[in-house]
Every structure is written in structure tokens, then in C-alpha cells.
Structure 1
């Protein structure tokens, strides 16, 4: 599509500005127009959790305008929200983290990444076995902890890779660090990534190392993700070409195959918030793209409603420190990449709309409406940095800033 000229904003030099996107992984806020087509009827991650626990306590998000943007029991609308608020609709095909982050960054997929509810086909497995020199066991849909409990003893006996998948488009390889060296596991993942091309172009290959003994297996922090390359230009590419510094927090660099961004990987949301604050307190200019994964990974996929509630309220308590670190020409965007409703029978992601909150000294509080695509966010960030936009989406910067 033709480039859209940037909005002219009579404030500081765009080269000196900062923008930060914080993705609350899995924190959707209700059905999208095509939710039924994904089998997710009734999913409303924020709304259903709030109803299930008799109301959420999120006073800081409430002041920004979360209750104005979407119905959340315990978080009513406020008369004068301090942030721009709205919701965004998913338009790309799929409901995984890669798809959601790519759409935020202006790139849409015409078809979802492939999934394997019956395990990977024989030709995929045989090619992997031949290339790595080890057999494969499991090859099923499973939780990471369960598949290790079921197959670790057989791996110790045979030296085979434990290969498994989930409802997401992932090729996961588990290996005990004492039985198969980490470097060999990583090489195997690189091999799988090279082999898994269309029609088996899964979103991510994931190294899942573990340690321990029978009855006491533990996954280690040496996980690595090997993502497929984005097939088109993203916001990160645009900012790189313009010389805008880019930093990631969490798994963001994995989702973009390390292209145009490097991340500080974090162990949990608390460490993620610390990393965000460190960037805010030290970076003179540039863009930070952060993912806080605990909502999705620890609680959504495990249908843990109290855990999800606790993570939301913990983030709300951390929010004042983020807001206090905003400088005159900063924009802070808070959003999500998909839903993961722990109140439904499914443990999979859900096709949902996502909240949109935008804070900063230049921001006027007010409605941003229902945005037609997550890509409106990426277009707005590009606009903030004075860059013409070549991706999907439309900037809402003129609606966001004070005159």
C-alpha cells in the first residue's frame, strides 16, 4: 500500500522521542467479530475473570480508563480518564503470540500457522531424525511438564528427543541437560527451524531443556525459541531504517526471529517490569517493545483464575512506577496480543479483541474507539517518530495528543 505521510506534531524533535509498548500476553477483553469461527464463543478474558472472582481491583488501570474501554466488574468507568482508551480488533489469521505481535507491528497473515492436533506427520519426523542422528519419542500434543514426566525415563534409556506440540503452532523439543548437551539441543532446534517450511512452517521451534530425576523433573531457564522470519516489513524494520534505537523485554525478539530487535529475556512479570523501568530510566531516546508472559503462560493455559487475577492486580500495583518514569515526550501503550480465558474449558488462546490504553504527558484522556486492527498501534508509533508508514493500520496520533 502507498506510504502514509506522518502527522506533523508541534513538539520535540521526533528523533528524541520515546515510545513503549507493553503487551500483557493473553489479556483479551471480549469477542471479536469472527470469534465463533475460531471456536471461542463466549471468551472474554478480562470480563470473565472479573465475574468469576466477584470483581477485580485495578485502581491504576481504572484511572487510565480501562473500565471506559471495556466492561470489567470492579473497574467501573471514570469521569475523567487520564489515558487514551479503546479496544483493537484482530484482523490477521490466527490467535497466537507471533500473529498478534506481528499485527501490532503492521504485518497481517492471510492464513494461520499450521497446528498438529495428532502430532507431526511421519515425513517431518523422519527428516528430523535423519538430520540429528537421534530417534524421536512422544510426538503428541501435551503439556510440557506432563510430557517430561511421561517420557523422561525413556529418553534416558534411548537418547531420543522428546518432541511434542500444543494447540499453538510450535515444534517443541525437550531434553535433559545431563543426557543431551545444551549445544546439541540448540543445534537440533536450528535444524528443525530450517526444515519446517511451508506447508509445515510452524510459528516457533522451542528448546525445552530440563533437569532432575524421576518424580522431580524441572524445566530450566535455558529455553530458546526459534521463530519464523516475518514475511514482510514491520514497525521494527521501519524504525531500524530510520536509526531509532529499539529494545525488547521478554520474548519479543524471539517472535520477530531477532530481526531489528534484541531483548532482555526475563523469568517472570516482576523481572519484566524491572527491565522496563531500567529502560525508561536510562534510554535517552528510542522504542521499547515488552511482553509480560505470566498471564498467558502460567495462568491462562492452566485455567488458573486466581493466579490470573493475582497477576493482573500485581501489574496494576507496578503501574504507578511506570507512569512516574514517563518523560515529556514519551508514549506508553498497554495492550495485549490475544485472549486466553481461564474460565472456559479450553486451555488454548482465544480469538478476542484487546484493550488499548495510551498514557503520557502529551496525551489527552479520551476515547480512541474500536480500532479496526491491532496495526493501528504500530502505525501510531511510526507516526510518533515521524516515519511514513508502509504497513497495515491507520495512526490515531491526531486523536491522542493535546492540541
Structure 2
């Protein structure tokens, strides 16, 4: 591995800890009435706080979360300790995969968008050629029932035309069997993402009974009705169209810096040579982050806390709030592990309002909270795209800029 291209004295910081609180939206973007009318009125954070009768997030509030979302019902700290603002998403739609590509500094991948029905026959042929049994999941629907144990089709909780899934019970089979079918699906599918999903507490017949055809033309498993997202959920995201060479993790890795990806980001971002831990549940993600802070001396630690997003899909404000409380406690401990040569960046990738009346993501602004023990706190103008975070990280380490984004490093001053 090459040595880092800058000496410690020439860098403003040695480590960046980037935490993405998945689906932490702070209010609908102004174009939703035109592009996503079902998201009009969405406000994930504010609606969660009100639905549970109030919420205390002392560390995030101290950083300024209540300040950048003053109508959310959190405590508004009169003197937040971070450089704080909000982000526009910088991409069309509201999607974790797309959001993370932009967040790491590349445009949305240019890949075909199509329903599962467009590739159904090709998928069935590939599965049969690999020795799997295949039949319709339900009469007249495109989704497929594979090996009498799992369903392959459109992912109903994602926007149409972008994501397929393979859903199976871990009480019926090992997760490796679900993943193997998911990988065959990935080999045929042209869309951006294939999700291989497994959970406990239901069986193959339950999965089949939850197959639906939506008005959008999507045909797949209603994972919310199945209870998948509350069942010690296991998942892998198999992606296509990534452009790692123009994204900040790969740029840093090639320059000799350490890169660790923890949580969902380990699946949706490609970075050869990075340490990856694709945990799903909040506690393992937080524990893995503590361990990463104990071993990484110089470089990027990127973390996705996913369970808030699952709570949004499950339309459970209480679960969302409980995940935020756990994340807040973990962030507080992480802050205690950071020194003056460390920078913490907290953001989201979209919203997922559990009270909006549907089980999909919502197109919302996300918070931007930037902190170091010696930082000079201030509010800054809204950033137009999540990609500005990647550009800032690249400037910190004096490496090549990612393909998109404008750095705000000049807004970050330390004593």
C-alpha cells in the first residue's frame, strides 16, 4: 500500500468519522409536489418526535440537530457545538443506494430502470439452469417462487424500476441459500440494486401469502406485512453501476489512507481493500465503530446506522425513536473517543417518515453536523448536495477530488 500523500502537519485532521443516520429526514424538499406527491408534508424527525410524545437526544441536540430542525420538537440548543446546516440530496428520488453514491462523490449510476416483469423469464431460465425449481409466486403475477422456499421479484419498499429482491425464511434455510439465489438474480438483472433478504419468525408459506401486485406494476413481497424488518433481519445489497474510482473512499485507499466501511455502507459502496463490516442492527454497528476508532489512526471511517430506515419502512415511530436514542448514546461515547485531530460528520441520505401513510422513503432534506473538540461552532448555508461531504473529506486529506461536490472545508475553523 502506498503511504499517505501528506504529512500529519499539513492535514487539518487525521481521521474523519462519517455517520449516516439512515433515513433521517428533516422536512420535505420543495420539489416533492412535482416529483413525489405522496411525500408532500413529510417530516421524518418532527413526526417521529410528536408521535412518541417527545424525545430527548442530548448528544445530537448539543451538536445542533434541534437547531437545524427547529420545528421537530427537540431541544434547540442556544449554542450548538458543531458547524451545522442541512443538505439537499443532490439526486432524484429518495434512495439509500443512490444517496450513498452521491454522498461519496459520484453522480447517480446510469443503469436501466425496469420492472421485474421485464427480466422475469430470463431470471427463471438462469435459476433453472443452476438447478433451482421455479414457479409463479402467485397466479398471474411476475414474482417467482424458488425452491418452494423464497420469492424473487420487485422490492416493494423501493421506488419502482430500481430494485429487485430475494426474500426467504432463515427458519427454512441458511442465509447462504438466499444469497446464492440473489446472486443469480444479480447476474441477470440490469437495475441498480438486488437485495437478498432473510429473517426469522415466518415460513415460506407466509412469504408467498404476502406477495402483491402494486399499482406501479411492482410484484414482490410486502416485507412490512411479513414482519421481515422486525425479525433479526439479515441482508446483502448487490449493486451495479458503481463508479468507485471517482468516489472518496477509493481515492483515499489508493492514496494510502485507511478506509473502513461499517453497516449498510459496506454493501452499497465499492472500495477494494477497505475493511468492511455490513452489520444491520444498531448495536453491532455501534460496537464495530468503537472498535474501528480503536485501531484506525489515519483515514476514513464511514458508518451507516440502518435500523432507523427499517423502522420507517415498518411505519413504526416508536421503533424509529428507540433507534435514534441508541444512536445518540453511541455518538456520545464516540465523541469522547475523538481528539483534536479527528472530525465527526453526521448526516442522513433521505427521509422515511413512518407517519406519512406509505412504506417507502421520503424525499427530504437531511441534517449536516460537523464537530471536532476544537472546532469553532457556527451555522452555514444549506449545502445543495450530499456530494459536498465527499469533496470536503478529499480536501482534508489533500487527495484528488471526487467527481462531484464542492468542499466546505473553508467553513471549518479550529482553535
TM > 0.5:
yes
1:93-242 equivalence runs, <5 A: 93-109=92-108, 114=113, 116=115, 121-133=119-131, 134-138=133-137, 159=148, 161-164=150-153, 165-168=155-158, 169-176=162-169, 183-197=176-190, 201-208=191-198, 223-231=235-243, 233-242=246-255
- Cα deviation code 1:55-111 (max 9, x no counterpart): 321222111111221224432432321111100001212311111111111112276
1:39-78 equivalence runs, <5 A: 39=37, 40-78=39-77
2:220 corresponds to: none
Work out the number of aligned pairs and report it: 378
CA contact (8 A) 2:169 2:204 kept: no
- Return the alpha-carbon distance in structure 2 between the equivalents of residues 390 and 119 of structure 1: 36
2:335 corresponds to: 323
1:352 corresponds to: 364
1:3 corresponds to: none
2:378 corresponds to: 366
Within the candidate set 24, 34, 38, 2:36 is matched to 38
- Cα deviation code 1:143-190 (max 9, x no counterpart): xxxx9xxx9xx86xx646421322313322234568666555433322
Show structure 1 runs of 5+ residues with no match.
1-7
How far the C-alpha of 1:202 sits from its partner, in A, is: 3.3
User: Residues 136 and 208 of structure 1: is their aligned pair in 2 closer, same or farther, counting only changes over 3 Å?
Assistant: farther
CA contact (8 A) 1:86 1:369 kept: yes
- Return the alpha-carbon distance in structure 2 between the equivalents of residues 332 and 291 of structure 1: 13
CA contact (8 A) 2:111 2:241 kept: no
Within the candidate set 301, 305, 325, 1:313 is matched to 325
CA contact (8 A) 2:182 2:194 kept: no
Return 65-74 or 121-130, whichever deviates more.
121-130
1:25 correspondence with 2:22: yes
CA contact (8 A) 1:59 1:75 kept: no
Q: TM-score, normalised by structure 2?
A: 0.81
2:313 corresponds to: 301
1:281 corresponds to: 294
1:269 corresponds to: 282
- Return the alpha-carbon distance in structure 2 between the equivalents of residues 185 and 62 of structure 1: 41
- Cα deviation code 1:250-283 (max 9, x no counterpart): 1212102454533213241122111111111222
CA contact (8 A) 1:228 1:256 kept: no
User: Residues 61 and 179 of structure 1: is their aligned pair in 2 closer, same or farther, counting only changes over 3 Å?
Assistant: closer
- Cα deviation code 1:307-344 (max 9, x no counterpart): 11222223223332111110221001111111000111
Aligned to 1:21, the other structure's residue is in SS state strand
RMSD over aligned Cα, in angstroms?
3.2
Aligned to 2:137, the other structure's residue is in SS state strand
How far the C-alpha of 1:12 sits from its partner, in A, is: 3.3
1:72-87 equivalence runs, <5 A: 72-87=71-86
Return 215-224 or 338-347, whichever deviates more.
215-224
- Return the alpha-carbon distance in structure 1 between the equivalents of residues 178 and 371 of structure 2: 42
- Return the alpha-carbon distance in structure 1 between the equivalents of residues 109 and 335 of structure 2: 37
- Return the alpha-carbon distance in structure 2 between the equivalents of residues 80 and 222 of structure 1: 40
- Return the alpha-carbon distance in structure 1 between the equivalents of residues 254 and 385 of structure 2: 24
CA contact (8 A) 1:137 1:163 kept: no
Show structure 2 runs of 5+ residues with no match.
1-5, 208-227
